[in-house]
Structure 1
Amino acid sequence: MPEESDRRESESPSVRGVYGISVAAELSGFGVAALRLYEEYGLITPGRTGGGTRRYSDFDLTRLRRIAELIDAGVNLVGIGRVLDLEHRTGELERDNLRLEADNAQLRAEQDPAAEPVREPADPAVPAPETTRRGRRRRPAARGRTGSGDGPARERTGGDHH
């Protein structure tokens, strides 16, 4: 299949398998048997040549470094598989969220071109202010008060109320 080999050659070196198993073992610090075991558990999936020889990429080596970190933290191989899967899915969700935020901003701009978007530097330690549909900030709720404005909210317990 010349199309597939052309596609592989056009891929970046970070995802194209270029290292044999012995080189990958040396670069990763794992033995050849460990690399085969990690593949068996689905932790890594090296590319294969037409003859079936494993070819590891820079991406695979980065993943092996992450596997080593998790092993050092005491996580077993099944747990490592779950952690890696969750990290991958989280990354996809973060990318989707960024795309959706950009789409929403574009739609808001198209709906109300006169309104200027409020752009403030994002500080991860400070939660972003809530906004209404028109992009106006919502007034923050009073802390320590119930929604009815009766005064401070009181914690209810199962004991006597005085």
Structure 2
Amino acid sequence: MTAEDAQVFVISVAAELAGMHPQTLRQYDRLGLVSPSRARGRGRRYSLRDIATLREVQRMSQEDGINLAGIKRILALEAEVVRLRAQVEILRVFAEPGHRVFTAGPEGDVVAVPRGQRGRRPPPAPGALVLWRPGPR
């Protein structure tokens, strides 16, 4: 966990840092725009990343005129882009020499299978997609 992801700010402090009313943060949590972690007593705890997202939501709403449903979709698509970029990087690393075959399960998890080890591993889960890199011809 990075310092940016540490859940340290109570709602009143997070609202002040984001320049919003605490009730706005509660509404955004209910709508799923920003979902802070919860303390033992169920109090919300916001990270610096959450506060940055709150500011971005406010900017898109006020400056760009995007409604909350549109903002939620934009945030979901941005998160998907980050996830896919990370997966592409994993695939790039696995495609280096010494890794020939890898599998992608139904949830999109990628597992490397080192050269010559394919037969020793359990078969992929049903519905899994097996990919490979052709060797030199």
TM-score, normalised with respect to structure 2: 0.66
Residues 116-151 of structure 1, C-alpha deviation per residue, up to 9 Å, x if partnerless?
Answer: xxxxxxxxxxxxxxxx9749xxxxxxxxxxxxxxxx
Paired amino acid for 1:46:
P
Partner of residue 42, structure 2 = 52
Q: Give distance in 1, aligned partners of 2:135 and 2:76.
A: 35
| 1:16/1:47 contact within 8 Å kept | no
Match of 1:22 among 12, 17, 36: 12
Q: Out of 88, 91, 107, which is 1:100 matched to?
A: 91
Q: Percent identity?
A: 35
Computing the radius of gyration from Cα coordinates, the structure with the larger value is 1
Shift of 1:68: 2.0
Unaligned runs of 5+ residues in structure 2 are 101-113, 116-133
Contact 1:19–1:55 (8 Å) recurs in 2: yes
Structure with higher strand content:
2
Q: Give the 5 Å matches for 1:18-97.
A: 18-71=8-61, 72-97=63-88
Amino acid at match of 2:82: G
2-structure distance, mates of 1:16, 1:75 = 29
Q: When the two structures are superposed, what TM-score results if normalisation uses the length of structure 1?
A: 0.57
Report the residue type matching 1:52 in the other structure. R
Report the Cα offset of residue 13 of structure 1: 3.4
Aligned length: 104
